[in-house]
Amino acid sequence: MRFSANLGFLWTDRPLPDAIRAAGAAGFDAVELHWPYDVPAADVAAALRETGLPCLGLNTRRGDVAGGENGLAALSGREAEARAAIDEALAYGAEIGAGMVHVMAGFAEGPEAHATFIANLAYACDRAVLRGMGILIEPLNRYDARGYFLRTTGQATAIMDEVGHDALRLMFDCYHVQLMEGDLTHRLRDLLPRIGHIQFASVPDRGAPDHGEVDFNYLFRVIERLGYDRPLGAEYKPGGDTDATLAWLRAYRESGAGPAA
């Protein structure tokens, strides 16, 4: 099993290029980003080359963060901004060699939001293919992102069917899915052909995967048996020094049996 460090949460006390270096030194196999746009892509690309780590993906901008926005793609009337954010993410991702862009839906509901999201995802997929990249959509839980348009894996797969584009894949975040739907083992098995990336964090506190209600010793083995061979994304809140939370990764590397119980 291989692991990716999500640098939106891990080593956030360091400049992004240094966080990439820290992930490499800690033994991660890849990195993924949230919103790296304030850092020149050339600097990120240089750190990736230096460490030999691939970048799996990044998010589209959230919009007016101070105003509480968390994505634009499902916001009716904001299509121009949403598509500018998609173009920006694809361009930045191409420059750093990222494989995927997560298109963030935002806080919205209803038929207009649905139609807007479908249209913007079709746009994103068409543009992504031109760059040899893919598009991800991710359901978020109602506790951390109340009112977010995309809430469940069932809603996500129905949207994927409607868009009908091979470039569109599901981001399966074990933390969000457990809070909204549970039954992670069966959902991973059933959805695996549609999954583009898997992330994890403890439930319910979104900390390191060595405590909480999900047994990641077991779940990592399940994912491995299912034949998923891409790096799993460690997207958890360290609550302090990231290096102090990596006992789970060391235990897995030493034993191959998963994080310490």
Catalytic residue status for 138: yes
Nearest residue to 232 via CA among 242, 247, 245, 222? 222
Residue 250 lies in a domain: yes
Asked if the model's pLDDT at residue 119 lies above 80, the reply is yes
Q: Quick one: average pLDDT of 22-44? A: 98
Residue 260 lies in a domain: no
Residue 106 lies in a domain: yes
Kindly name the residue from 69, 95, 112, 138 that is annotated as catalytic.
Answer: 138
Confidence of residue 249 (pLDDT cuts 50, 70, 90): very high
- State which amino acid sits at residue 254: E
Q: Which domain holds residue 204?
A: 3-255
Asked if the model's pLDDT at residue 258 lies above 50, the reply is no
Instruction: Give the CATH number, domain containing residue 166.
Output: 3.20.20.150
What pLDDT shows up at residue 76? 98
Torsion over CA: 58, 123, 158, 142 (sign):
positive
Catalytic residue status for 235: yes
Q: Quick one: average pLDDT of 143-150? A: 97
How many independent structural domains does the chain possess?
1
Residue 114 lies in a domain: yes
Q: How many angstroms separate the CA atoms of 74 and 228, rounded?
A: 30
What pLDDT shows up at residue 257? 53
Nearest residue to 236 via CA among 148, 146, 144? 144
Locate 65 and state its tokens: 């963060």
> Between the CA of residue 187 and those of 97, 121, 154, 174, 191, what are the distances in Å?
30, 23, 10, 10, 6
Q: What's the whole-model pTM score? A: 0.95
Residue 261 lies in a domain: no
Kindly name the residue from 50, 69, 95, 235 that is annotated as catalytic.
Answer: 235
Residue 241 lies in a domain: yes
Locate 18 and state its tokens: 């240094």
When the pLDDT of each residue in the chain is averaged and rounded to a whole number, the result is 96
Confidence of residue 252 (pLDDT cuts 50, 70, 90): confident
Q: Quick one: average pLDDT of 10-38? A: 98
Confidence of residue 21 (pLDDT cuts 50, 70, 90): very high
Residue 17 lies in a domain: yes
Residue 150 lies in a domain: yes
